[in-house]
Every structure is written in structure tokens, then in C-alpha cells.
Amino acid sequence: MVVILGLEGTAWNLSAALVTEDRVIYDVESSYKPLHGGIHPREAAQHHASELKRVVSQLIEGASAKDEDFSIGDIEGVAFSQGPGMGPCLRTVATAARALALTLKVPLIGVNHCIAHIEIGRWRCGTEDPVVLYVSGANSQVLAYHTGRYRILGETLDIGIGNALDKFARYIGLEHPGGPKVEELASKGTRYIHLPYVVKGMDFSFSGLTTAAKEAVDAGNSLEDVCYSFQETAFAMLTEVTERAMAYCGKDEMLLAGGVGANRRLQQMLRTMCGDRGARFFVPESKYLKDNGAMIAYLGLLQFQSGQTLPIEDSAVRPNFRPDEVEVKWRVR
């Protein structure tokens, strides 16, 4: 069995996992939670630096205790999130990954974080060739595989949907991360307030919507109604573009990925859209939607098996690493 150790730490979540072909052997994580405001890149990086030793030690100890077949000598590669993400966080985790690869005398594997979200979803759900809606804090993209790459068919023109929800939540006094709290309030909303719906071709935008939602709160509308209207508007935009991508590509499977994918209303809209067009909707369990180490280890495994490892001297982090820069050698079609 090939075992790959994966390290994730692009933003708020530091996590490490050991993955083999047919299962996640073990994983450990440690989350950074800002005291005030949103994610501060330097503070998050300091969190990762101070937690790395514990997380990796617990990973090795936990895996050895849980799985008699596993020993540290089985690790054949160390994968890490090379980007996209926050520079200080990426650099901290990359340094740890290089040190581990050198110590274990195994290859280093640089992984694109967005593609890791996609591949763990395909693996866990068993979907072959889906159109992907990837919605997280910083990123919001619609992607599909075509001739050797994941092509970005549509994306946000400004902030990610998670970031939009978090910013709005902060404005109304909720703690980070705000997405789940907005969902909770939205479930009690009853009245739709008109908010800007911005879809331009295959792209979308959330920053005007966020400002308008803040103004709607200032104008005295109930928080429940504004949260409800925020979700209805933003998720309808995402569903519209995902549906158009499916129609253009002629694909009849759809995969939801990224932390915002945990939102039940978003899932419901996408499921309905897929049902209406005779397509299948897939969403992995929430621990594999949000940032996690298993997805990095798993994509690391796929890349390792197709020979895509990284010399240490080429392992600089890539804060703006786009998924379509990666040659996908592990898929046959």
C-alpha cells in the first residue's frame, strides 16, 4: 500500500492526514479562530507554527495505535498545499513539509488546494466527471475537466461567497466564521428583500450584495429576513451559473465542494436544479467539504502515482496558484 502524508494550512485550518488508496488512515486538525474580526494571515501562520509539532506527532502516534499495519516507514511521500492561500500560512506549512520529506527521505508533492477539494469529493462520492461548484472562504469557482485540465468556467469577480457571508456576519455582530450562523438566522426568515443579483456571463460577484445587505440591516429590516434574502440571492446566482456550465459541457453530474457547501439551502437549490435536468447531485460529508488534510494527502497520492513530485528547490509556495495551471495526469479522460 502507498501511504502519503498530507499537510493543509492555507488559511484557518491546520491539518495533517495519512491516506492510502482505499482509505483515510488517520487525521488530526487544529483550527485558528480570530479573537476579533476576520482571519489575520500572520496570526494564523503563528497558530500553525505553534501547532505543527503536536499535530504531526499526534498523527503518527494515532495512526500507529489505530492501524496495526501502519508504521512511519510506510510513508512514501509528503504532500502540502502549495497554494492558493495566505502567504505566511503557506510558507509555514511548506517549511514543515520540506523538513518532513527530507527527514523521511521521501519525495515532496506540491498540491493545488482547489483541485484537492475536487478530488476528495470525486473519491468520497464516486462521481466520474462532474461539473464542480467550489465555494469556500476565499474562492468561488465553477470548474469542469476538459482535455487534461480542470478548466475554470466561471468564478467570482471580487470576493468568495464564504468571505461575503463572513463579512456580513461580522457586521451584524456574529463571530467568525459567520456562514453557519447566517444559515441559522436565514432559516427563520420569511420575507424576501430585493438585493443585487450579479451574474455576468459565467462570472458572479458578491461584494455589492454584501454592501446592500448591510444597508438593509441599517434600514431596520430583521436580521432573519436579510440573512434569508442574502442566501436566496447569492445561492441562486451560483446555481444559475452551475446549471449553465452543465448545459454547455453536456455533463450530467454535479459535485459541490468547499466549506460553504455545508449549507443546506445551497445543497437544496443545487439538488433541485440537478433533479429538474435529470442530472445527479453529489456532496461529500462536511469534514471533506471544509479545508482538511485528507484532501491534500489524497491528491498527493494521485500525483505521486503519476510521477508529479516536486524537487525541494522548486517548492516555493504559490499564493495565487490557479487550478487550470495544473496538468492533470491522473485522469484518463
DSSP codes joined into one string, 20-81 = ETTEEEEEEEEE---SSSS--HHHHHHHHHHHHHHHHHHHHHHHHHH-TT--GGGEEEEEEE
Buried b / exposed e over 1-11, threshold 16 CB at 10 Å, is eebbbbbbbbb
Check binding of 253 to Mg ion (CB under 5 A): no
User: Shortest approach of Mg ion to residue 297 CB, angstroms?
Assistant: 15
Four-point Cα dihedral 205, 158, 326, 314, nearest 10: -170
Radius of gyration (C-alpha) of the chain in whole angstroms: 20
Residue 110 interacts with which of Mg ion, ligand AMP, none, CB < 5 to 8 Å by class: none
User: Shortest approach of ligand AMP to residue 69 CB, angstroms?
Assistant: 31
Which of 29, 291, 301, 321 binds Mg ion (CB under 5 A)? It is 291
User: Shortest approach of ligand AMP to residue 260 CB, angstroms?
Assistant: 4
Output 272 or 306, the one with its CB closest to ligand AMP.
Answer: 272
The alpha carbon of residue 156 and the mean position of all alpha carbons in its chain are separated, in whole angstroms, by 15
Nearest to 223 by CA among 210, 211, 214: 214
Select from 65-73, 89-97, 226-234, 289-297 the region that touches Mg ion (CB under 5 A).
289-297
Check binding of 29 to Mg ion (CB under 5 A): no
User: Shortest approach of ligand AMP to residue 283 CB, angstroms?
Assistant: 12
Residue 183 interacts with which of ligand AMP, Mg ion, none, CB < 5 to 8 Å by class: ligand AMP
Cβ-contact 282, 252 below 8 angstroms:
no
Q: Rounded to a whole number, what is the distance in angstroms from the first to the last CA of the chain?
A: 25
Residue 179 interacts with which of Mg ion, ligand AMP, none, CB < 5 to 8 Å by class: ligand AMP
Give residues in contact with ligand AMP (CB under 6 A). 11, 136-137, 162, 165-166, 177-180, 183, 258-260, 262-263, 290-291
Select from 123-131, 191-199, 272-280, 287-295 the region that touches Mg ion (CB under 5 A).
287-295
* Pairing label, strands 75-83, 108-112: parallel
The dihedral through the CA atoms of 286, 289, 291, 293 has a sign that is positive
Residue 225 interacts with which of Mg ion, ligand AMP, none, CB < 5 to 8 Å by class: none
User: Shortest approach of ligand AMP to residue 306 CB, angstroms?
Assistant: 25
Q: What does the block give as the cell for 241? A: 451559473
Residue 49 interacts with which of Mg ion, ligand AMP, none, CB < 5 to 8 Å by class: none
Q: Which residues of the shown chain bind Mg ion in the complex (CB under 5 A)? A: 136, 291
